[in-house]
Amino acid sequence: MNENVDPNLDKTSKNGVVWTKLKCGEDLSLRKKINFTEKPGPTSYATRNIDSTKLSAFLMIFDTSMINFIVQCTNSNAKNYENVTFINIDILAFIGILFFRGVLSKYTSKGYVG
């Protein structure tokens, strides 16, 4: 390490991210550090591509290429354990259950279903 460098100075990564050393007790709240200037709501891309179906809104988060990749990786891993093959609808159902559990756990007293 270069002994002439002051360890208290801010550091800048190769891609331009500035890392700042925090003072003892300094607030770490992310909300106070991010300044949002964009208008709230869906993007124009989402507005154009979401129709009346819930699936079209869901596919704004997980597009078909992502689902296909998850299916491919799941099947590649599953063949090491059992003779089973999954298809896109299986993965979509599983992700839907995970989302539902997340929403449902918000309304349970212990934070889990069971």
92 occurs within a structural domain: yes
Range of the domain at 55: 11-105
Phi/psi class of residue 87: alpha, beta or left (left: φ > 0; alpha: ψ in -120 to 50)? beta
Alpha carbons within 13 A on the beta-carbon side of 19? 7
Residue 89: inside a domain: yes
Judge whether 95 lies within some domain. Answer: yes
Q: What value does the mean pLDDT take over residues 38-46?
A: 83
Q: Is residue 113 part of a domain?
A: no
What per-residue confidence (pLDDT) applies to 16? 77
**Is 112 among the domain residues?**
no
Residue 4 counted as domain residue: no
Domain assignment present for 2 = no
Residue 101: pLDDT band with limits 50, 70, 90:
confident
DSSP character at residue 17: P
Output the pLDDT for position 69: 96
pTM: 0.54
Helices and strands per DSSP (H, E), number in the chain: 5, 2
Q: Is residue 42 part of a domain?
A: yes
Q: Structural domain tally of the chain?
A: 1
Q: What is the pLDDT of residue 20?
A: 74
pLDDT, average across residues 83-103:
91
pLDDT in tens, 20-33: 776 776 666 655 66
pLDDT digits (tens, 9 = 90+) for 62-77: 889 999 999 999 999 9
